[in-house]
Amino acid sequence: MATVSIRKNDEVEVISGKDKGRRGRVVNVLPKKNRIMVEAVARATRHTRPTKARMQGGLVQKEQFIDLSNVQVVCKACGKPTRIGHRTEDGVKVRICRRCEGEV
């Protein structure tokens, strides 16, 4: 199992699959399964029954997990999807953009 460089609340862009080109915020990361959930990406329609908690039944849009290899982090400095590098600054390990060397 490799370490995951993508964290919750990072902005990512989908680089392959049916949602290619879409950007969104990371909602959940499952590092052991190499899966990631991105807000408003890879949505599926689920049929739900009325319950006591939810009186209204019907169709519900729900985000699905996608593979970690299908997304790249968007750099805050240059605004482009990039791979992540690491650098140690003042004894602290920081994530950097491979394109512009800016902090991610």
Provide the pLDDT for residue 4.
84
Q: What is the 3-state composition of the chain as percent helix, strand, coil, each rounded to the nearest 5?
A: 5, 50, 50
Q: Write out pLDDT tens, residues 3-41.
A: 788 999 999 999 999 999 999 999 999 999 999 999 999
Selected from 3.40.50.20, 3.40.50.450, 2.30.30.30, 1.20.1090.10, the CATH number assigned to the domain covering 11-49+57-78 reads 2.30.30.30
Q: Write out pLDDT tens, residues 39-74.
A: 999 999 999 999 888 888 899 899 999 999 999 999
| C-alpha angle 46-50-56 in degrees, rounded to nearest 5 | 85
Instruction: Evaluate the CA torsion angle 90, 96, 98, 100 in order and state its sign.
Output: negative
Instruction: Tokens 């999807």: give the residue.
Output: 81
Annotated domain spans of the chain: 11-49+57-78
- 20 three-state secondary structure: coil
Provide the pLDDT for residue 19.
94
Confidence of residue 90 (pLDDT cuts 50, 70, 90): very high
